[in-house]
Amino acid sequence: RAAAPRGSWSSESSGSSGCWEPQYRVVLLGDPGVGKTSLANAFAGVQERDLLEQHGEVAYERTLSVDGEETTLLVIDAWEPERRESWHRSHCLQVGNAYVIVYSITDHGSFESAAELRIQLRSMRQAEDIPIILVGNKSDLVRCREVSVEARACAMMFDCKFIETSAALQHNVAELFEGVVRQLRLRLEGKEA
């Protein structure tokens, strides 16, 4: 199914009406310019992109088939660190069922911000075991690399999954969101067991 624009991403309901698949909110975090919107667009699919942007949408819904089972993700691209209102920040940090923390491999500062975001999330959602994926985007810009793949070790320390992507080349973008689905399912199975 193609991505569809969604008006409200703040509602607590999980699953759109009449739809039996589980639905999860995945929030993109990270410094401006690291490629959050590009990743969301790559997730949504090129054909949908212009339509979504015309409507000023910040949430992209898509059903993925992973390991033979369907799961709907609502990917939320609303993180604006420069916004003053602290409620907006805390809302973003509260609303997700999973988080994708993005930095650019060409910008060490954005990697440091990613580490800070991980700490903020941990303190706000202390009691919960939410999936967090650390993403080094712009992996196509090899000559401008400032963050080495040792970030992987850092991700282990942070208790996150790790992947490098290129939204520009659509490299590892599908793998990223499939990984999010698998992490969500693992948590669900853990709760049911």
Binding-residue pattern over the window 60 to 99 for ligand GDP, x denoting contact by CB under 6 A = ----------------------------------------
- For residue 137, state whether it binds ligand GDP (rule: CB under 6 A): yes
Span of 15-23, 68-76, 163-171, 176-184 interacting with ligand GDP by CB under 6 A: 163-171
- For residue 174, state whether it binds ligand GDP (rule: CB under 6 A): no
Which residue reads 């339509």 in tokens?
51
CA-wise closest residue to 104 among 134, 60, 74, 59:
134
Give residues with Cβ within 8 angstroms of 3, minimum separation 6.
Answer: 43, 44, 45, 48, 52, 60, 61, 62
Strand order of the β-sheet with 23-29 is 4-5, 59-66, 69-76, 23-29, 98-104, 132-137, 161-164
Of 51 and 141, nearer to ligand GDP (C-beta) is 141
Q: Which two tokens stand for residue 32?
A: 């401006």
DSSP 170: T
- For residue 113, state whether it binds ligand GDP (rule: CB under 6 A): no
CA-wise closest residue to 100 among 150, 42, 19, 51:
42
Q: How many residues sit in the footprint of ligand GDP (CB under 6 A)?
A: 15
Span of 28-36, 83-91, 111-119, 151-159 interacting with ligand GDP by CB under 6 A: 28-36
- For residue 110, state whether it binds ligand GDP (rule: CB under 6 A): no
- For residue 52, state whether it binds ligand GDP (rule: CB under 6 A): no
Contact 31, 113 (CB under 8 A): yes
Opening angle at CA 97, ends 112 and 139, nearest 5 = 40
Reduced to 3 states (helix: H, G, I; strand: E, B; else coil), residue 131 is coil
Q: Which residue is nearest to ligand GDP (CB)?
A: 35
- For residue 178, state whether it binds ligand GDP (rule: CB under 6 A): no
Q: Which of 6, 25, 36, 161 binds ligand GDP (CB under 6 A)?
A: 36
Beta-bridged to residue 62, according to DSSP, are: 73
- For residue 25, state whether it binds ligand GDP (rule: CB under 6 A): no
- For residue 34, state whether it binds ligand GDP (rule: CB under 6 A): yes
Q: Which of 6, 38, 60, 162 binds ligand GDP (CB under 6 A)?
A: 38
Q: Which residues form the interface with ligand GDP (CB under 6 A)?
A: 30, 32-38, 137-138, 140-141, 166-168
